[in-house]
Structure 1
Amino acid sequence: MPKITPDPATHAFADITASDRSLRSFLHGLPGVDAVGLEARAASLGTRSIKTTAKAYAIDLAISMIDLTTLEGADTPGKVRSLAAKALRPDPTDRTAPTTAALCVYPDMAATAVAALAGSGVKVASVATAFPAGRASLSVKLADTRDAVAAGADEIDMVIDRGAFLAGHYLKVYEEIRAVKEAAGAARLKVIFETGELSTYDNIRRASWLGMIAGADFIKTSTGKVGVNATPANTLLMLEAVRDFRERTGVQIGVKPAGGIRTSKDAIKFLVLVNETAGEDWLDNHWFRFGASSLLNDLLMQRQKLSTGRYSGPDYVTVD
Structure 2
Amino acid sequence: MAGAPHGHGHPHTHGHPHTHESPHTRAPLPHRLAHLLRPHSHETADKLDSALESSARGMRALWVSLVVLGVTALAQAVVVAVSGSVALLGDTVHNAADALTAVPLGIAFVLGRRAATRRFTYGYGRAEDLAGLVIVLTIAASAAFAGWTAVARLLDPRPMEHIPVVAVAALIGFAGNEWVARYRIRVGRAIGSAALVADGLHARTDGFTSLAVLASAAGAALGWQLADPVVGLAITAAIVLVLRDAAREVFRRVLDAVDPALVDRAERALRDVPGVREVGELRLRWIGHRLRAEVAVVVDGEATVRQAHAIAVDAEHALLHAVPRLTAALVHADPAPVAGEADPHHALAHHMTA
TM interval, short-chain normalised: under 0.3
Q: If the length of structure 2 is used for normalisation, what is the TM-score?
A: 0.19
Q: Which has the larger radius of gyration?
A: 2
Q: If the length of structure 1 is used for normalisation, what is the TM-score?
A: 0.21
